[in-house]
Amino acid sequence: MSTPLTLTHGRGADGTPLLTAVGEIDMSNTRELADALDRTSGPLVLDLTGVEYLDSAGLSVLFPHAERLELIASPILMPVLTISGLADLATVRD
Amino acid sequence: MHPLTGAGVFAADERIGGDLARVDWAATPLGEPADWPQSLRTAVSILLSSKFSMWMAWGPELTFFCNDAYRRDTLGQKYPWALGRPAREVWTEIWDDIGPRIDAVLTTGQATWDEALLLFLERSGYTEESYHTFSYSPLRDDAGDVVGMLCVVIEETQRVIGERRMATLRDLGSDPSVVRTQQEMLDFTSEQLDRNPHDLPFTLTYLFEEDGAARLASSTGVPAGHPAAAELLPAGSARPWPTAAAAREESVLMPLDAVLTAELPTRVWRGPPTQALVVPLPQKGGAPYGFMVAGLNRYRSLDQDYRAFVALVAGHVATGVASARNYQAQQRRAEELAELDRAKTTFFSNVSHEFRTPLTLIMGPVRELREHLADGDPRVREELEVIHRNGLRLGKLVNSLLDFSRIEAGRMQARYEPVDLAAVTGELASVFRSAVDRAGLDFQVECAPLPQPVHIDRGMWEKVVLNLLSNALKFTFDGSIRVTTREVDGEAVVTVEDTGIGVAAEEMPRLFERFHRIENARSRSNEGSGIGLALVKELVGLHGGAITADSTEGRGTRFTIRLPFGSAHLPAEAVLAEAVADALPIGADPFVQEALRWLPGEQPGTPAEVRDGTAPTADDLAAAPRLGARVLVADDNADMREYLARLLRGAGYEVRTVRDGRAALEAVRTDSPDLVVSDVMMPGLDGLALVGALRTDSRTASVPVLLLSARAGQEASIEGLRAGADDYLVKPFAAAELLARVRANIELARLRGHHARWRTALVDSLQEGFFVCDEDGAVVEINTAFTDILGYGPEGLPYPAVHPWWPDAASDPEAHRQVAEAFTRLLGRSRGGYTIPVVHRDGHRLWISAAFNQVQDPDTGRTVIVGTFRDVTSEHYAIQRESALAALGTCLSQATSLNEALVGALAELRRLWRARTVGAALFGTGDTPVLTATDPSLTWAELPAGDRARLEDLLHRPELTPVSDANGAGILLEHPEGPLGLWIDLGERRPFGGEDQLLLALLAGRLSQGLARAHQIDQQRETAIALQRAILGPARLPEGFAVRYEPATRPLEVGGDWYDTVPLPDGRIGIVVGDCVGRGLEAASVMGQLRSACRALLLQDASPARTLMALDQFAAGVPGASCTTVFCGVLNAETGELTYSSAGHPPGILVQADGATRLLEDGRSLPLAVRPGRERPESTCTIPARSTLLLYTDGLVERRRRPLSTGIHRAGEALQAGRNTAVDQLATEVMAHLAPADGYDDDVALLLYRHPAPLEMSFPADSAQLAPVRKALRGWLDQCDLPPGTVQNILVAAGEACANAIEHGHRDTPGRSVHFRAEAFVDDLHLRIADTGRWKTPRPELDTHRGRGMRLMRALMQQVTVTPGPSGTTVDMHARIV
């Protein structure tokens, strides 16, 4: 049984593809996230506002797509994104 | 059958055992042996197997048992009647003495020790005086109570009585005066005998008179006028005492009838004597002097020792009589001799001239023979020389005596003619020149002519000059002799001067006395009659002159003669007008001849010692002496020496000759002869000094000496005998008399010497060992008891230190040290005593107790050490036994377990025997025996095969019967879990004697009992501890709690305090801390009931107030439960909500994360059961995160003279200080911080809770577990009341660590679990994640996301430590709580 995670594909107000994640991301469910990311191409807005937990396994899925990602995250995730250096590669906004 | 069960208990001794088995035990309080307790069987078994005299009493009537040694030594005719009887009946006659001692042992359990206690036993058909040294030790039953006693006894009757008799004999010999009158001697003797009324209730000394009647001379213990003390017994009387038997030198034992015993004082005894022994007073070589009647001790049989004692006493009295009578005779003789001396001169003067004719008739033919036989047989010539020389000497003596008698009678027919005195004197002097030259002296004759002639009688003058010259030569060894004549103050002065030995100032006044001789002067010869100078003085006096002497001792002597010129001073009729002729000196020859005999080398072939050379001549004057008897002859006169030698050799003796006392002493010391015949007067060491020297040296003291002297003075005779000479013979003597005396003395030699014999008898009859040491500690004299005790006999004397009986320094250094110390004391102190271990010649160990005194040897003036000792081995071992049993008893009673008892006992045995190791093998139910040894590292498996065999071999031996070999000793005894073989390894060849065996049997018996008792205690304690632990509290506490418990009463593990945690059905936790009144077992039992009740009540209704109210009701029904204080609370561990109620209990202390301290003082009410039924309040508080709660009993904080609040405050401080310490460690710190200096004196219970409790989880290494773990951690972190950011950081870091752990687990050992723990402190949070795999070194280039995880952990936490181990990896992380 993997950690509960809901991934919803959609479009943002400007039509940019949007992936909304709700739940927690750890080693047990990064594959789902990776698959979802792989299914998209081009700039992608990843909304992590509903994610309460993100560890290095999740980060390692995000890094290959960093340059095309615009991350929306709650303050809870900010230390992890900053420390890992992902914030330097991807666009991060609150 | 087991050796110690049933009737087999008597098997250890066939004889006594058989008789014991025949006792009707059912009729005694002890009942049938089969039902006897083990302790009794053990005691009986030890008793019977012992070789030492013992008896024991057991049970309410003190039923009597004894062993074979006791039967033989003490019980006598009471055996076997005594067995199984009450001890009081067996020893009814001495119960007054021993009863109280036995009572003391039974009531106090303390052993008694009595030394030489006098007991009147009736064991031999009469009431007997006996002495016993014994100890009574308590005997205990299986429960450890004293129910009987064991007596180890040594009968000392012989020793005590022996010592008492010795004291009497010693006192008798202590008479300080050598000789005294008969009555004085008897008075002294009576005084001494009267001091031993035990052995001599009365004594009567009768002396025979000439007609055979016996007169009472002295008595003790009988009032004057008593029919027993008849003053005079006519010859042949039978009553009251027989005189005839004593006269025949027979002893008679006389029963005393009623008439005789009437009104006899009983003195120290309860009744008068019933028998007396009549013993003769023996006279050496004659009929007895009389007899002694010795009243006998009615409580002793007249055995050989007693007879010998009485005989020695009588012998002493007889010796005393002999010496007193001898002294009287000597005195009488002395008076007679003085008279004789006066008559002697007269006599000689009368007869001397009669000698001249025969002398002339001898000397004439001798001279002719000498000339005829000048070339003849050398032996004949030699004998002629002897005759000639002694003829001359005799002639000279006769002439001198005649001169005296003439002078005394006024009949000296002098003819004074005028002569040239210088010339005449010079001529006379020249006669001596050759003799002086031969003596190596310078001879100066300075005879200057005188102005006038001097009138002299030539014969007389010749004697004057020759006597003086002879005298000078005799006493001068170096230097010169000078003769001068000159005129001084109108007188002719002639001097004769020498550089000889001189004359002591005190001797000067007597120099010219007739027969006076200077004693001990060093001279060329001791020949001389002491009349020379006296004659000179007389002769000078006849010339009207005077002679004076001046002398310096050691420098020389000068004689000065002054003669007047003219003839006016002389009787006119004797004065001649002219000199008659120039006659040559006529009487010089004897003087010169005599002088030459003194000088060395005059008799070629006469060495200082002549062993043989003269054929024995037949001499039937004396009977043939003992074959090979050897005689040493000491005489400075060569003729006398040769004469004696010839005479004695002729009689068949082997003869050695020496020329002086010194040589004699050396000869005797190298090879002791059977007799020494010595002249009294010899140069250097004279005869008396020789005797003295011989007597003071124990090696030569017994050599008989016959003194010869020309001097017949009474003093000389007494002096000679007093110096210790055996006989004294005055010259001249007949050859027959000499031979008879020589023979008699040799024959008597072994029987001789009243002093030596008396002393030897005395010393040898001592039952104590006796020794004399010289100043260096060499033992030079011993007695027979010495040899009996130590095995070393007189043949080995002297025994120089280190003595052969010292224990070996190498194998027994401790004993050696003790002896060396005692030896130092012996040499260093004037008197003292010591008890030391020594080794008998045959190797066995003894203990002796010695007393010594330094004394001056009256003969030599040297210090010697005289000592006596006795064998105290049995006493020593008896004491050692008692102390060893006591030590073992102490050790066993202090042991708190079976094993401790055994280990302690083995150590005690090892200490006692100074053993290398002591081991015990328990042959229990297991396959291999269990070894316990003083060396704890030893196990059965590692034990050498020989040691194993020795222990196994014990199994085939009867129990409690020691065995020993060269290496040690062993014994089998009963252990609660099976037979126990015990072996003492002594390490080296050391004897393990009978005493040791007895001790080992006793100790093993005691050990067996002790082990049984320890086993019972073990079982009881195990049960008790299990029970105690059961009532104390839960074995397992919920997370977050720590407890401590300290009971006031050891070894109890519980007291009146308690704590409890109770998991409740709704997940909450019940917390109880209580304190019953009192302490110890009673309080603990109340506590146990309250704790159980409280627990049950909480489970039923989780309300603290209602629980306590119900407990009020319960406590009211439990005695001792009232007034118990209790804190009862219910904790929600998740929220920290605590509901509580206190029944008079001290408040809980809460220390928060910020350091604030709060007391839980609400919800308070009365202690339990004080007001049952009364409502109790309840209060609730929330324990903030990271705060610590302390609940306790008053023992933690209550101190005398200090308010409770102080203690509570200190406890709060301790909690504050330990806010960052884990609760378990904190509990220890709080207990230590509050402990009084000498420990807690009251029960203490302590309970700590830190909120929240640490989070602890274990989960399988599966990534699916990550989310639930995270959830649990998040929930716990919420309890910790942390800032939100901190929570997220911890969650991520923990998640990374868990992910790593899961990966490792998956990779290496799938399915293994990961352990997670989180604990909150005040400002620190500790996480620990442990897995079973290997940690992965971060290598970002290969495994970017793992490396990233590690980086995240380090970035998010304050401290990360990864500890890889063989079985897994542990990650510790700390997060600071801001």
Element (H, E) at B418: strand B417-419
Integer Cα distance of A69 and B692 in angstroms? 139
Cα three-residue angle B829-B758-B216, rounded to 5 degrees: 120
Burial class (CB in 10 A: 0-12, 13-18, 19+), B701: middle
Q: Note the pLDDT of residue B606.
A: 34
Instruction: Give the three-state DSSP class for B1006.
Output: helix
CB contact under 8 A, B1299 and A80: no
- What does the pLDDT average to over B29-42? 89
User: Would the CB atoms of A59 and B1345 count as touching at under 8 Å?
Assistant: yes
In sequence order, the 6+-apart residues with CB closer than 8 A to the CB of B1000 are B962, B969, B971, B984
Reduced to 3 states (helix: H, G, I; strand: E, B; else coil), residue B417 is: strand
Inform me whether the pLDDT recorded for B178 exceeds 60.
no
Asked if A84's CB is within 8 angstroms of B1263's CB, the reply is no
Rg for chain A (alpha carbons), in Å? Answer: 12
Q: With a cut of 80, say whether residue B563 has pLDDT above it.
A: yes
Q: Confidence class of residue B980 from pLDDT cuts 50, 70 and 90?
A: very high
Angle (CA) B1278-B1282-B1288 rounded to 5° is: 80
- Answer whether residue B1021 shows pLDDT above 80: no
Higher pLDDT, B618 or B693: B693
- The encoded tokens of residue B853 equal 């005194």
Who among A28, A53, A63 is closest to B1264 (CB)? Answer: A28
User: What span, in angstroms and rounded, lies between the C-alpha atoms of B247 and B266?
Assistant: 30
**pLDDT surpasses 70 at B65:** yes
How far separated are the first and last CA of chain B, in Å rounded?
82
Q: Element (H or E) spanning B487, and its range?
A: strand B480-488
Task: Choose the closest CB to B1352 out of A27, A76, A84.
Answer: A84
Residue B1107 has pLDDT above 90, yes or no: yes
Scan for tokens 């700390």, then name that residue. B1374
Cβ B804 vs Cβ B779: under 8 Å: no
Across the A:B interface, residue pairs with CB atoms under 8 Å apart total 69
Place of tokens 């605590």: B1138
Closest by CA to B1169, choosing from B1106, B1092, B1112, is: B1112
Total structural domains in chain A? 1
Average pLDDT estimate for B1291-1296: 91
| pLDDT in the model for residue B410 | 65
Can you tell me which residue has the tokens 């004593």? B246
The pLDDT score that the predictor gives to residue B1022 is: 74
Q: What percent of chain A has pLDDT over 90?
A: 21
Asked if pLDDT for residue B614 goes beyond 60, the answer is: no
Contact predicate B1034/B1043, CB 8 Å: no
* Angle at the Cα of B1359 from the Cα atoms of B1356 and B1360, rounded to 5 degrees: 90
- For residues B929-965, b (16+ Cβ closer than 10 Å) or e, as one string? bbbbbbeeeeebeebeeebbebbeebeeeebbbbbbe
Closest chain B residue by Cα to residue A28: B1263
**Do A28 and B1267 count as a contact with CB atoms less than 8 A apart?**
yes
Residue B242 has pLDDT above 50, yes or no: yes
**Who wins on pLDDT, B202 or B352?**
B202
How close A83 comes to chain B (CA, Å)?
7
Residue B1346: its pLDDT value, please? Answer: 61
Across-strand partners of B1330? B1315, B1370
- Mean model confidence pLDDT for chain B: 83
Rounded Cα distance, B984 and B1002, in Å = 15
**Which of A2, A53, A76 is facing B1295, going by the closest CB pair?**
A53
CATH of the domain at A17: 3.30.750.24
Task: Please report, as a single letter, which amino acid is at residue B1344.
Answer: T
Q: What is the CA radius of gyration of chain B?
A: 56
DSSP per-residue codes, B518-573: -TT---S-----S-HHHHHHHHHHHTT-EEEEEEETTTEEEEEEEEESBSTTS-GG
Higher-pLDDT residue of B353 and B970 is B970
Instruction: Kindly give the parts of chain A with pLDDT less than 50.
Output: none
Q: Please, how many CA atoms are within 13 Å of residue B1340, restricted to the half-sphere of its CB?
A: 9
Contact: B1302, A27; criterion CB under 8 Å: yes
Element (H, E) at B220: strand B214-220
| Residue of B127, B277, B134 lying closest to B199 (CA atoms) | B277
Could you report the predicted ipTM of this complex, rounded to two decimals? 0.89
pLDDT at B207 > cutoff 90: yes
Measured distance CA(B1144)–CA(B124) in Å, rounded:
82
A70 contact B CB<8A: no
> Could you tell me which residue, B371 or B1158, shows the higher pLDDT?
B1158
Whole-number Cα distances in Å, B49 to B17, B64, B226, B982, B997: 10, 16, 56, 18, 10
Q: Report the residue from B1284, B1349, B1351 with minimal CB separation from A55.
A: B1349
Angle (deg, nearest 10), helices B38-49 and B14-22: 140
Hey, what domains does chain B have and what are their CATH numbers?
6-155 (3.30.450.20), 162-336 (3.30.450.40), 416-579 (3.30.565.10), 609-710+731-752 (3.40.50.2300), 768-871 (3.30.450.20), 893-1024 (3.30.450.40), 1036-1251 (3.60.40.10), 1255-1376 (3.30.565.10)
Paired tokens of A90: 């991807």
Nearest by Cα to B1189 from B1131, B1115, B1124? B1131
Select from A33, A53, A56 the residue whose CB has the most chain B CBs within 10 Å, as the one to mutate to test that interface: A56
- In terms of CA atoms, which chain B residue is nearest residue A86? B1348
Percent of chain B with pLDDT over 90: 22
Kindly state the average pLDDT of the residues B810-819. 85
Residue B1292: C-alpha distances to residues A48, B808, B1119 (Å): 16, 83, 60
Q: Chain A: give the shortest CA distance to residue B1154, in Å.
A: 27
Q: Which residues contact B762 (CB under 8 A, 6 or more apart)?
A: B166, B169, B170, B173, B312
Q: Looking at the DSSP assignment, which residues form a beta bridge with residue A92?
A: A71
Question: What would the mean pLDDT of B849-860 be, rounded to a whole number?
Answer: 78
Among B1185, B1187, B1179, B1252, residue whose Cα is nearest residue B1216: B1187
B2-6, B921-925, B1302-1306: least confident range: B2-6
Of A2, A27, A83, the CB nearest to B1352: A83
Residues from chain A that touch B1296, judged by Cβ atoms under 8 A, are 55-56
Test B1346 with A56 for CB contact under 8 angstroms. yes
- Among residues B726, B790, B785, the alpha carbon closest in space to that of B761 is found at B785
Q: Which residues contact B210 (CB under 8 A, 6 or more apart)?
A: none
Better pLDDT: B1137 or B347? B1137
Length of chain A: 94
Q: Are the Cβ atoms of B1263 and A55 closer than 8 angstroms?
A: no
Query: What is the pLDDT confidence band of residue B1182, given thresholds at 50, 70 and 90?
Result: very high
pLDDT in tens, B414-432: 788 888 898 888 888 887 8
pLDDT-based confidence at residue B758 (cuts at 50, 70, 90) = low
Choose the weakest-confidence range: B521-535, B565-579, B1362-1376: B521-535
From A37's Cα to the closest Cα of chain B, the distance in A is: 17
Q: Pick A27's closest partner by Cβ from B1263, B1344, B1348.
A: B1263
Q: Is A15 on the interface with B (CB under 8 A)?
A: no
Q: How far is B1344 from chain A (nearest CA, A)?
A: 7
Domain that holds residue A61: 5-93
Residues of chain B neighbouring A57 (CB-CB closer than 8 A) = 1299, 1345, 1349
CB B1127 within 8 A of CB B1107: no
pLDDT in the model for residue B353: 55
What is the model's pLDDT at position B589? Answer: 67
- B1365/B1333: higher pLDDT: B1365
Q: Nearest Cα to B426, choosing from B476, B473, B486?
A: B486
pLDDT of residue B525 exceeding 80: no
Interface check for A4 against chain B (CB to CB < 8 A): the answer is: yes
Which residues, in sequence order, are bridge partners of residue B906?
A: none
Q: pLDDT per residue over B1225-1271, tens digit each?
A: 999 999 999 988 888 888 899 999 999 999 989 988 888 888 899 99
What is the chain A residue with the closest CA to B1269?
Answer: A3
Would you state the pLDDT for residue B625?
Answer: 42
Taking contacts as CB-CB distances below 8 angstroms, the residues of chain B near A55 are: 1292, 1295-1296, 1299, 1349, 1352
A86–chain B Cβ distance below 8 A for any pair: no
What's the average model confidence in pLDDT over B1159-1169?
92
Is the CB of A76 less than 8 angstroms away from the CB of B1284?
A: yes
DSSP helix/strand/coil, B984? strand
3-state secondary structure B1197-1236: CCECCECHHHHHHHHHHHHHHCCCCCHHHHHHHHHHHHCC
Select the residue from A24, A33, A55, A65 to test the B interface by mutation, using most B Cβ atoms within 10 A.
A55
Closest chain B residue by Cα to residue A58: B1345
Q: In terms of C-beta density within 10 A (0-12 exposed, 13-18 middle, 19 or more buried), how is residue B61 classed?
A: middle
Inform me whether the C-beta atom of residue B1329 falls under 8 Å from chain A C-beta atoms: no
Q: How many helices (H) and strands (E) does chain A have?
A: 4, 5
* Confidence category of residue B645, pLDDT binned at 50, 70, 90: confident
In whole angstroms, how far apart are CA B817 and each of B275, B441, B791, B811, B865? 52, 63, 22, 12, 21
Q: Residue B334: pLDDT above 90?
A: no
Choose, out of A26, A63, A77, A86, the residue to mutate when testing the contact with B (most B CBs < 10 Å). A26
- The reported pLDDT for the residue numbered B1335 is 53
How confident is the model at residue A19, as a pLDDT?
A: 92
Higher-confidence residue of B735 and B1088: namely: B1088
pLDDT-above-70 percentage for chain B: 87
Phi, psi of B218 (to 5 degrees): -165, 160
